[in-house]
């Protein structure tokens, strides 16, 4: 008995500490949901990790094939989406337009995001049909940029996050079109300039590509309008657009091959030259 | 010893009310990632007289923490962190003991032990508390980076508030 009392006197504070902490943690685990979940899962984390690792190794061998087929499927789906957009348009388009765009799936192998002028490098080049001035998208709702120059197997893409970027865009279900530019250093936002002041647009509207160029077909979703300003003395809105996609984590992209691009640019050039 | 009891009870009540009514609602986040909390309540435990027995410290910390948790809807989290802080408080005090040692009746205030000692003591103890708090809140070290960031930013604002209060009111006890 004497020993027990002595022990308590000597280590009482430490024992009290342990007892109090045990009470606290019992309370935490029993009364707070997030901690409870973590506590219950902690025992499974190790097992899950091992299983996952094994899966990674086993599946790694046929991952590449799987990926390629998925990319191809995706490309087909987006091609279909683009043609559906055309057939839903108020102005009936000739059938031949449905075949106008062809997507080349490709992988990003180098990218910058933190510079004032950012670029991507993708692993498809002139051998697969990539040419300068072709548009690049991530999905049906996400622009990436425009091809600048190509080698046999690679292409250099001007990212949206670049001072040179000028993409003709419009607002879904509204009239008027403007130019998409990157003015701030924010990788999630861009600005849409020179939409005339008399057109009615609202915060929350969806910005889509206008199709007034050979690079992008009409109707690729770009982003949502976040704020609208009219600079004093200006005749047009200055609109801040929040992009749908996150350009900082792009892995797979599609190059848009416009079959009639050469024909269109040739025609337009003739007019300019006259 | 008795003259310390009333001021400390008053301080505990005032800090409790201040924490729950004012500082709880001042929580903000930077960039949607870093959550900055104003955590000034450890001052209740840290400002108790130096020779307070450890067991008393921990019991006060436990009760105070539980009451705080009722308001924060996180039963046990603050209590666990504060009990831990109370447990290590005497170790910190022993660790940064000034050359001439402590008087039996010393209270850890700027007036008694100098501003250098106080800053040293308060910053170590407060950071340990805040780091413990965020660790227990996350309950796993998977988010270690977030825990460290939250701790650092919360520590800066909380420390500034505590130092300001100390410098303005200059408590004797």
DSSP state string for B101-151: ---TT----HHHH-HHHHHHHHHHHHHHHHHHHHHHHH-SGGGHHHHHHHH
Is residue B32 less than 8 Å (CB to CB) from chain A? no
Phi, psi torsion values for B73, nearest 5 degrees: 55, 40
CA–CA separation, B157 vs B169, rounded Å? 18
Residues 6+ away with beta carbon under 8 Å from A92: none
Per-residue confidence (pLDDT) for residue A91, from 0 to 100: 52
Residue in B55, B76, B139 closest to A24 by CB: B76
Residues 6+ away with beta carbon under 8 Å from A85: A217, A218, A219
pLDDT in tens, A24-82: 888 888 777 666 666 665 555 666 666 667 767 776 666 777 788 788 778 878 877 77
Helix and strand totals (H; E) in chain A: 4, 12
Nearest-by-CA chain A residue for B74? A32
Per-residue confidence (pLDDT) for residue A241, from 0 to 100: 92
The answer, yes or no, to whether residue A257 has pLDDT greater than 70, is yes
Per-residue confidence (pLDDT) for residue A96, from 0 to 100: 45
pLDDT in tens, A12-26: 788 888 888 888 888
Q: Between these two residues, A95 and B71, which has the higher pLDDT value?
A: B71
Q: Closest Cα to residue A171, out of A125, A225, A121? A: A225
Residue in A13, A27, A38 closest to B54 by CB: A13
Nearest-by-CA chain B residue for A35? B139
CA–CA separation, A230 vs A223, rounded Å? 20
3-state secondary structure of A221: strand
Low-confidence winner among A67-76, A173-182, A220-229 (lowest mean pLDDT): A67-76
Q: Provide the percentage of residues in chain A whose pLDDT is more than 90.
A: 7
Contact B173, B108 (CB under 8 A): no
Per-residue confidence (pLDDT) for residue A97, from 0 to 100: 46
Please answer yes or no on whether B62 and A35 come within 8 Å at the CB atom: no
CA–CA separation, B16 vs B9, rounded Å? 11
Per-residue confidence (pLDDT) for residue B128, from 0 to 100: 92
Low-confidence winner among A27-36, A125-134, A241-250, A261-270 (lowest mean pLDDT): A27-36
Per-residue confidence (pLDDT) for residue A89, from 0 to 100: 56
The answer, yes or no, to whether residue A98 has pLDDT greater than 60, is no
Residues of B in contact with A34 (CB under 8 A): 139
Q: Which residues of chain B have pLDDT under 70?
A: 1, 32, 173
Question: ipTM for the complex?
Answer: 0.79
Average pLDDT value for residue range A251-274 = 83
Please answer yes or no on whether B75 and A20 come within 8 Å at the CB atom: no
Where do we find the tokens 């996400």?
Answer: A142
pLDDT in tens, A161-170: 888 888 999 8
> Nearest-CA distance from B164 to chain A in Å?
31
CA–CA separation, B5 vs B10, rounded Å? 9
Please answer yes or no on whether A27 and B58 come within 8 Å at the CB atom: no
Residues of A in contact with B75 (CB under 8 A): 27-28, 31-32
> Nearest-CA distance from A137 to chain B in Å?
28
Per-residue confidence (pLDDT) for residue B131, from 0 to 100: 92
Average pLDDT, chain A: 81
Structure pTM? 0.48
Residue in A16, A28, A38 closest to B58 by CB: A16
Per-residue confidence (pLDDT) for residue B130, from 0 to 100: 92
The answer, yes or no, to whether residue A190 has pLDDT greater than 50, is yes
- Which residue, among B31, B54, B83, would best test binding to A if mutated, counting the most A CBs under 10 Å from its CB? B83
Q: Which residues pair with A180 in a beta bridge?
A: A167, A192
């Amino acid at each position: 008995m004497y020993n027990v009392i002595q022990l308590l006197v000597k280590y009482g504070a430490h024992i009290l500490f342990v007892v109090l902490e045990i009470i606290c943690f019992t309370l935490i685990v029993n009364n707070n949901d997030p901690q409870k979940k973590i506590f219950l899962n902690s025992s499974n984390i190790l097992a899950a990790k091992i299983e996952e690792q094994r899966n990674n190794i086993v599946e790694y061998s046929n991952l590449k094939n799987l990926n390629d087929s998925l990319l191809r499927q995706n490309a087909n789906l987006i091609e279909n989406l683009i043609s559906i957009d055309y057939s839903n348009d108020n102005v009936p388009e000739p059938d031949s337009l449905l075949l106008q765009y062809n997507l080349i799936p490709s992988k990003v192998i180098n990218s910058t995001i933190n510079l004032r002028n950012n670029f991507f490098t993708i692993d498809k080049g002139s051998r697969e049909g990539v040419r300068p001035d072709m548009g690049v998208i991530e999905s049906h709702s996400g622009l990436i940029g425009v091809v600048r120059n190509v080698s046999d197997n690679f292409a250099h893409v001007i990212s949206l996050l670049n001072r040179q970027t000028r993409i003709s865009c419009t607002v879904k279900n509204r009239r008027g079109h403007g130019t998409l530019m990157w003015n701030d250093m924010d990788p999630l936002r861009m600005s849409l300039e020179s939409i005339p002041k008399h057109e009615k647009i609202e915060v929350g509207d969806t910005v889509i590509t206008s199709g007034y160029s050979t690079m992008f077909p009409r109707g690729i979703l770009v982003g949502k309008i976040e704020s609208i300003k009219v600079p004093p003395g200006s005749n047009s809105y200055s609109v801040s657009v929040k992009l749908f996609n996150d350009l900082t984590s792009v892995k797979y992209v599609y190059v848009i091959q416009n079959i009639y691009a050469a024909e269109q640019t040739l025609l337009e050039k003739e007019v300019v030259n006259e | 010893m008795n003259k310390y009891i009333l001021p400390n009870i008053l301080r505990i009540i005032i800090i409790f009310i201040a924490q729950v009514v004012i500082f709880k609602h001042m929580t903000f986040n930077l960039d949607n990632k870093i959550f900055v909390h104003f955590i000034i309540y450890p001052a209740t435990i840290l400002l108790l007289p130096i020779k307070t027995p450890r067991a008393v410290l921990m019991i006060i910390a436990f009760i105070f923490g539980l009451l705080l948790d009722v308001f924060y809807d996180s039963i046990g989290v603050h209590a666990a962190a504060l009990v831990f802080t109370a447990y290590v408080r005497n170790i910190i005090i022993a660790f940064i003991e000034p050359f001439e040692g402590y008087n039996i009746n010393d209270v850890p205030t700027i007036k008694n032990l100098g501003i250098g000692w106080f800053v040293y003591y308060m910053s170590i103890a407060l950071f340990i508390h805040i780091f413990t708090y965020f660790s227990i809140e996350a309950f796993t070290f998977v988010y270690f980076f977030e825990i460290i960031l939250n701790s650092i930013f919360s520590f800066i604002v909380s420390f500034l508030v505590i130092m300001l209060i100390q410098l303005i009111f200059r408590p004797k006890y």
